[in-house]
């Protein structure tokens, strides 16, 4: 009967990574390495795989979905010993798919082919192999004269002839459970490392009467890569990154420079969006259609962009929702923000969303115009079609009302909104004068002393030498014959003639 369970081996220390972080938690394109193995089990239709944890188990376990069965291998005594740790959790019948948590490049189709081969050929054990130009580090697959697999020899055990074998054990295998458990009870720890190797099960089974060992090959060589070191991690990241890029290109997204574009796993991008060079987009981001992103933009987790949004150079967004046709073209940081349709965010806009303890929300209404270099201290709201002047600092909770205009540091309301002005002029709202402003200037001018009065005042204070006419005017005025202003005006007319 076709019963299939799965075990994922993830207890190893990963010494060659030289890391405090358990190997299987090292992220690849925005998700921990082990997530790729969980995906493979799920795609094989296995709802509850058994994950063997050991080194750093307390760190790894919280990162796993709750439906996963976790077993603990107390000491890391080899891959065979790890399978034995899962023995109790394993049902006694059918076959088991064993996956290593450090081979994240395997494709679903490859694992499906492995499973199909196993059941179709009614094999005792089915392996996955690859032919590598450089097989060093991997277990070599050995075959007899008729080409039948008769074992796997680990790198630490190979002789000169075996070292030259280019067919390697990729790791995953499917094995009938009773045969597997019988073999594991029999095989001995390796002489060199004193570990119980899962791979030694293969040579044991091959020697038994009536058993059948089968193998399938990976579809593409890079799939076989096992991650033991940082350089292998970097290579795997490169391969997965390219696969993600290819998927978006296939979906109708333009990516101008795939070499400098970093898009994590789990990002959605609408057709006809253009991603300019040196852009980073993290897991969970969703981008609408016909957007333009970058160059040099960074979209972090919790960001969603509607259609036709423009995010330009040196813009960082996190936990932020952007409405349709919003423009954020230059040097901006928005965190924990909602920006509604059609708003324009000027160059240098920053949300101060973190007060040292908590993060706070900013809300920018529909059609709002945030002037260059505005700092929005959250929590704060900028109403629909409101304007902030260049360089304004809007203090927390000092919400800008719809259609309001604020300027300065701290930002204060201008008493009347600027009359309908075009986009470019709005940015200068802080220096434009409203009609009220003009009226008050007139009033101010009226209350300002006239030139003649000033001249008189200065003259009486002896600041400038009085002209003879001014002298006469002052003396006439002082004698009370005519008002100073009239006298001075007369004298001025005389002098200018």
> What b-and-e string marks burial along 404-428, b requiring 16 or more CB atoms within 10 Å of the CB?
bbbbeeebeebeebbeeeeeeebbe
Please, are residues 341 and 359 in contact by the beta-carbon 8 Å criterion? no
Helix, coil or strand: residue 379 = coil
CA distance readout (Å), 110 to 118, 447, 461: 12, 88, 99
Q: In 3D, which of 4, 80, 85 has the Cα closest to residue 43?
A: 4
Instruction: Enter the tokens of residue 472.
Output: 């006469």
C-alpha distances in angstroms, 465 versus 264, 449, 456, 493?
Answer: 80, 20, 11, 18
Measured from the CB atom, is 239 or 350 closer to ligand UD1? 239
Which among ligand UD1, Ca ion, none contacts residue 282 (Cβ within 5 to 8 A by kind)?
none
129 makes contact with ligand UD1 (CB under 6 A): no
Phi and psi at residue 371, in whole multiples of 5°? -70, 160
10 binds ligand UD1 (CB under 6 A): yes
DSSP code per residue over 430-487? TTS--HHHHHHHHHHHHHSPPHHHHHHHHHHTTSSPPPHHHHHHHHHHHTTSS-HHHH
The β-bridge relationship of strands 167-176 and 125-131 is antiparallel
In terms of CB distance, is 102 or 316 closer to ligand UD1?
102
- Catalytic residue, chosen from 194, 200, 330, 456, is 330
Q: Which of residues 228-287 bind ligand UD1 (CB under 6 A)?
A: 228
Q: How far is the CB of 278 from ligand UD1 (least distance, A)?
A: 33
Binding mask 164-203 for ligand UD1 (x = CB under 6 A): ----xxxx-------------------------xxx----
Residue 330 annotated to the active site: yes
Q: Is 149 in the site for ligand UD1 (CB under 6 A)?
A: no
DSSP state of 166: -
9 touches ligand UD1 (CB under 6 A):
yes
Binding-site string for Ca ion from residue 216 to residue 255, where x marks contact by CB under 5 A and - marks none: ----------x-x---------------------------
Q: Report the nearest approach of ligand UD1 to the CB of residue 186 (Å).
A: 16
362 binds, among Ca ion, ligand UD1, none (CB under 5 to 8 A by kind): none
- If one asks whether residue 12 binds ligand UD1 (CB under 6 A), the answer comes out as yes
Which residues have CB under 8 Å from 455's CB, separation 6+? 464, 470, 488, 492
Spatial separation of the C-alpha atoms in residues 448 and 459, rounded to whole Å: 17
Please give the residue whose beta carbon sits closest to ligand UD1 in the complex.
139
Tell me if 264 contacts Ca ion by CB under 5 A. no
Name the one range near ligand UD1 by CB under 6 A: 100-108, 300-308, 351-359, 372-380. 100-108
**From candidates 31, 49, 86, 100, binder to ligand UD1 by CB under 6 A:** 100
Indicate the residue among 233 and 380 with the shorter CB distance to Ca ion.
233
**Interface with Ca ion includes 172 (CB under 5 A)?**
no
Residues annotated as catalytic are: 330
Q: Which residues bind Ca ion (CB under 5 A)?
A: 102, 226, 228
């Amino acid at each position: 009967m076709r019963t299939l369970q799965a075990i994922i081996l993830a207890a190893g220390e990963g010494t060659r990574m030289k890391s405090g972080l358990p190997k299987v938690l090292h992220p690849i394109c925005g998700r921990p390495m082990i997530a790729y193995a969980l995906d493979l089990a799920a795609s094989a239709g296995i709802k509850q795989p058994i994950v063997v944890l050991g080194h750093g188990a307390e760190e790894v376990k919280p990162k796993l979905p709750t439906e996963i069965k976790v077993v603990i291998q107390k000491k890391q005594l080899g891959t065979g010993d790890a399978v034995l740790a899962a023995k109790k959790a394993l049902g006694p019948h059918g076959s088991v798919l064993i996956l290593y948590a450090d081979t994240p490049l395997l494709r679903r189709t490859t694992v499906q082919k492995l499973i199909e081969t196993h059941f179709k050929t009614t094999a005792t054990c089915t392996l996955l192999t690859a032919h590598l130009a450089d097989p060093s580090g991997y277990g070599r697959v050995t075959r007899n004269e008729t080409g039948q697999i008769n074992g796997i020899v680990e790198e630490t055990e190979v002789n000169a002839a075996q070292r030259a074998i280019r067919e390697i054990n990729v790791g995953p295998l499917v094995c009938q459970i009773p045969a597997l458990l019988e073999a594991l009870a029999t095989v001995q720890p390796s002489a060199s490392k004193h570990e119980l190797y899962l791979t030694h099960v293969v040579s044991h089974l091959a020697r038994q009467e009536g058993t059948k060992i089968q193998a399938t090959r990976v579809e593409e060589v890079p799939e076989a890569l096992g991650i033991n070191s940082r350089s292998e991690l970097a290579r795997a990241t490169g391969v997965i990154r390219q696969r993600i890029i290819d998927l978006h290109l296939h979906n109708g997204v333009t990516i101008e420079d795939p070499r400098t574009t970093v898009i994590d796993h789990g990002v959605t991008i609408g057709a006809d969006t253009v991603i300019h060079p040196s852009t980073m987009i993290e897991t969970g981001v969703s981008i609408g259609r016909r957007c333009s992103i970058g160059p040099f933009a960074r979209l972090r987790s919790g960001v969603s962009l509607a259609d036709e949004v423009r995010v330009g150079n040196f813009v960082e967004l996190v936990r932020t929702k952007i409405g349709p046709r919003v423009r954020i073209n230059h040097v901006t940081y928005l965190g924990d923000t909602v920006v509604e349709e059609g708003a324009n965010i000027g160059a240098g806009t920053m949300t101060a969303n973190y007060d040292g303890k908590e993060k706070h929300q900013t809300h920018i209404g529909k059609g709002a115009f945030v002037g260059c270099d505005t700092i929005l201290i959250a929590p704060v709201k900028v109403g629909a079609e409101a304007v902030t002047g260049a360089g304004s600092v809007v203090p927390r909770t000092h919400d800008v009302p719809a259609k309001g205009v604020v300027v300065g540091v701290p930002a204060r309301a201008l008493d009347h909104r600027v009359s309908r002005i075009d986009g470019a002029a709005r940015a200068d709202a802080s220096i434009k004068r409203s009609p009220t402003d003009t009226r008050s200037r007139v009033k101010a001018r009226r209350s300002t002393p006239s030139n003649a009065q000033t001249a008189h005042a200065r003259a009486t204070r002896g600041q400038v030498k009085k002209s003879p006419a001014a002298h006469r005017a002052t003396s006439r005025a002082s004698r009370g014959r005519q008002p100073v202003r009239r006298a001075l005006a007369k004298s001025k007319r005389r002098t200018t003639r």
